[in-house]
Amino acid sequence: MAGLRKGVSYRRIERPYTRKSKFKHRSYVKAVPNSKVVRFDMGDIKKTYNFRVDLIAKDALQIRHNAIESARQIINRHLNIKLGNNYFFKVRMYPHHVLRENKMLTGAGADRMQTGMQLAFGRPVGIAAQVLPGKQIFSVKVMTRADVESAKYALRKARSRLPGHYGLGVELLQPEIIVKEE
């Protein structure tokens, strides 16, 4: 049994032609697969933070839901170990686009088991997020300048799990409160 196709197969942005209707007989895609992305907000949501570090896409591409979940786990694990609960991490995209595959069989007797390009719409195999250049993929909010370096490192580690090229952006949300000792 074959597993997942390589990510290169689904990286290029294509027109979202899925026709998911509330009336089942009008739908081409009968059921949308469940997303593997479990959580979108992690860390302490209620605190106010001074810095925000973003992972920003440089290319237009599609990112599959299993790649998003893999990168999310890497970032969250690193931040949790290094910063405890003094961060807020947000996944800034949601996988909506349904990926389809027209399964083709090979080998002896395969000619009797498939239709080829007749009725070649394909069955849903997964979902992906469509990302344009300049879109923020992940955001991490932290308190101090030392924590910014740790957040940058976590986002750099996650880049290897995602297709395409990414940059990092750091933004000062509010001036740091400096307490002087007397």
Domains, in order of start, for the chain: 33-95+122-175 (3.90.1170.10)
C-alpha 46/C-alpha 68 separation (Å) is: 25
pLDDT in tens, 28-54: 777 778 888 888 898 888 888 889 999
C-alpha 31/C-alpha 141 separation (Å) is: 36
C-alpha 156/C-alpha 153 separation (Å) is: 5
Question: Tell me, what amino acid is at 4?
Answer: L
Residues 6+ apart with CB under 8 A from 8: 163
Taking alpha carbons only, the member of 121, 95, 111 closest to residue 37 is 95
The predicted model scores a pTM of: 0.80
Residue 57: CB atoms within 10 A of its CB come to 21
Over range 57-61, report the average pLDDT.
Answer: 93
Contact 83, 106 (CB under 8 A): no
How confident is the prediction for the chain on average, in pLDDT?
Answer: 82
pLDDT in tens, 72-127: 999 999 999 998 889 999 999 988 888 887 777 666 665 666 667 776 677 888 88
Taking alpha carbons only, the member of 104, 102, 99 closest to residue 122 is 102
